[in-house]
Amino acid sequence: MFGRKKKDSEPTENLPVEGAEGTLDEPITDEFPALGTEDRGPYDIDDLDGADPAEGVAGGRLDLGSVLLPMPEGGQIQVEMAPDGSPQAVHLVTQHGRITVAAYAAPKSPGQWREVTSDLSESLRADGAQVSVEGGPWGRELHAVTPNADLRFIGVDGYRWMIRCVVAGPAGTAGVDSPLAQVAREVLRDTVVRRGDEPHPVRTPLPVVLPQMLAEQLVAAQQQQLQAQQQAAEQQQAAQQQAAAAAALAAQERDATPPEDRPGGGGSAMQQIDRR
């Protein structure tokens, strides 16, 4: 069975060093242990034993460079772009809510997710969220309740990588046994991580690369949106120019009309007396 096993067969001296936090000498005991034994993913791509990483349990996986994700039934893709125009995140939108899976560089030994949950809990509470730590298939999960949404954070430590899954939905939809959380866990169980050999500082997000077809669709959608904005701006400018031209024409006609012929005109009071 392939999965998140430690690669004991590889000489560690040939692996990239990722800073002072790159290794952990002592195993960490978590008070929120994994509930049961997960004999499925997330998988390391190097442990697939020749299997096609693009083919998942229930169909094809979406190749995003650092992660390959299965598409939930009825799900749609939403791409979040960074200010520089590069893809920053890919969200899987389901009927229950949104699921976002991202991979990060991590030490060779597990333990980063526990540190991340501690920092994340403090940040969420500082923003006014109600945060609780709950047990899940891979250990601890964070459940955050905000005035506008429910959030669940699920993490998995791998070999030099960490997966973070963010589950977001309306109030009451991200509970431990909710349909949205169950869909998110099924996505994680069939996710593949492509870590690569490049050295990265721990906690650095691994790059997201869109498939060519999806990238072309995104570019086409952006171009259509830009064209629609340009057309709207041109129409607004044309309407303003027409209004200004109509106002100028009315002013010219008014100036060219003798005072006595203007509506409400008839000349001065003395002129009116003289014409009697």
> 174, 153 in Cβ contact below 8 A?
no
Count the residues in the chain.
Answer: 276
Asked, for residue 163, whether it belongs to a domain, the answer is yes
Q: Determine the pLDDT at residue 32.
A: 67
In a domain, 5, yes or no: no
Residue linked to tokens 């964070």: 142
Q: Are 252 and 152 in the same domain?
A: no
Predicted pLDDT of residue 15: 36
How many helices and strands in the chain, by DSSP H and E?
Answer: 4, 11
Q: Is the same domain home to 41 and 149?
A: yes
Task: Classify strands 192-193 and 43-44 as parallel, antiparallel or unpaired.
Answer: parallel
Say if residues 87 and 78 touch (Cβ distance below 8 Å). no
The answer to whether residue 2 is domain-embedded is no
Quote the distance between the C-alpha of residue 170 and its chain's center.
16
Nearest to 193 by CA among 20, 61, 31, 79: 61
pTM of the complete model beyond 0.85: no
pLDDT at 190 over 70: yes
pLDDT over threshold 50, residue 198: yes
Exposure string of 217-233, with b = 16+ CB inside 10 Å and e = fewer, is eeeeeeeeeeeeeeeee
Q: Which tops the pLDDT comparison, 248 or 121?
A: 121
Compute the mean pLDDT over every residue in the chain, rounded to the nearest whole number.
81
pLDDT of 12 > 50? The answer is: no
Based on the fold, state whether residues 131 and 262 are members of the same structural domain. no
Pair (182, 225) in one structural domain: no
Tokens of 4: 């998140």
**Residue of higher predicted confidence among 47 and 121:** 121
Identify whether 132 is part of a domain: yes
> 227 and 203 share a domain?
no
36 vs 110, higher pLDDT: 110
Residue 120 has pLDDT above 90, yes or no: yes
Which range has the top average pLDDT, 14-23, 134-143, 236-245?
Answer: 134-143
Query: Does residue 236 form part of some domain?
Result: yes
Identify the domain boundary among 159, 182, 210: 210
Q: Where are the alpha helices (DSSP H) in the chain?
A: 112-126, 179-189, 212-256, 269-274
- The confidence score (pLDDT) of residue 84 equals 82
| Shared-domain flag, residues 194 and 142 | yes
> Is residue 198 domain-resident?
yes
Name the range with the highest mean pLDDT among 3-12, 87-96, 234-243. Answer: 87-96
Of 210, 230, 259, the one marking the end of a domain is 210
Q: Are residues 202 and 229 in the same domain?
A: no
Kindly state whether residues 65 and 138 are assigned to the same domain: yes
The answer on 91 and 61 residing in a single domain is: yes
Please report whether residue 7 resides in a domain: no
Q: What is the Rg, in whole angstroms, of the alpha carbon atoms belonging to the chain?
A: 31
Identify the domain boundary among 210, 231, 264. Answer: 210
Cβ 62 vs Cβ 192: under 8 Å = no
Domain that holds residue 135: 12-210
How much of the chain, in percent, has pLDDT values that exceed 90? 48
Confidence band, pLDDT 50/70/90 cuts, at residue 267? low
Would you call 31 exposed, middle or buried from its count of C-beta atoms within 10 A (0-12, 13-18, 19+)? exposed
Q: Dump the DSSP string for 52-98.
A: -TTB-SSSBEEE-BSEEEEPPTT-EEEEEE-TTSSEEEEEEE-SS-E
Is the pLDDT at 75 greater than 50? The verdict is yes
Q: Do 31 and 158 reside in the same domain of the chain?
A: yes
Residue 275: pLDDT above 90? no
Q: What is the pLDDT of residues 228-259, one digit of tens each?
A: 788 788 888 888 888 888 888 877 777 776 76
Does residue 21 register a pLDDT over 50?
no
Q: Is residue 4 part of a domain?
A: no
- In this structure, the answer to whether residues 228 and 128 fall within a common structural domain is no
Indicate the number of domains in the chain: 2
CB 114 within 8 A of CB 28: yes
Whether 19 and 125 share a structural domain: yes
